[in-house]
Amino acid sequence: MKASSQTDSRILLGTIAVLLACASGAGAYTVNLTPKNPRTIYLQVGVGTFTGGNYQQGGSPATNPLVNLVSVTVPAAQVGNGTAQTMTTNSTASQSLYDSFAFCNLPNQLYVGGFYRSTNGSAGSATATLVANVPASLVSAGGRTIPFSQISWTSSGNGDAGGQPFPGGTFVAGGTQTIGTINRNEWAESCHTFSYSNAAVAPAGTYTGRVTYTLSAP
């Protein structure tokens, strides 16, 4: 199963049915789901909401309107010295809403996950694709800019080994880029640790920008 490298505690949290349903291989956390109505995609970046328990407990996904923040304050003595600065998040989502496993480590990691479920094994597209729509720059109140390409991320998850469904990367400034895919009838999740390259001296200020992630299944 793909979750074969998960810790025992997480495996114990899963049902036998799920374990049998998981494909062997990667070691990142992807889990096969039983097809059922309605055909659904669910995307969670940072905190999310399930009502009535987690997915395994029969809970239902819901909208959570809270947008999380990923931020860093560069120490004055290190501005522009080329030492990458790890960013932190105000997200409180450490547990997977699939099985409540403590998957991400706060405050450095941002949960990115979701599922694509179909009504049967062949209805709809074979995969759902997660893309990020990235502005060209973070902008300060004074109109100064830092290119979004100065922000990168690594991907991991507690108990995981091997490739992640949403692997590490670097934002493409002013572009739309693929973050990963979720196969039909699969739950996939990763934890992203962002960093600012700090490669150039930037004018003093607070720079902000918003990235929109979109999970779509044609």
Contact residues: another protein, CB under 8 A:
37-49, 60-77, 79-80, 87, 91, 110, 114, 119, 123-124, 128, 138, 142, 144, 146, 148, 151, 194, 196, 201-218
Least Å distance, CB 24 to another protein, is: 28
Least Å distance, CB 16 to another protein, is: 27
Query: Between the CA of residue 150 and those of 89, 109, 136, 171, what are the distances in Å?
Result: 17, 18, 11, 7
Buried b (16+ CB within 10 A) or exposed e, 177-190: eebbbbbbbbbbbb
| Cα 30 from Cα 162, distance rounded (Å) | 12
Least Å distance, CB 20 to another protein, is: 26
| Cα 99 from Cα 67, distance rounded (Å) | 23
3-state secondary structure of 125: coil
Q: Between 11 and 101, whose beta carbon lies closer to another protein?
A: 101
Least Å distance, CB 215 to another protein, is: 5
Q: Between 1 and 132, whose beta carbon lies closer to another protein?
A: 132
Q: Between 142 and 162, whose beta carbon lies closer to another protein?
A: 142
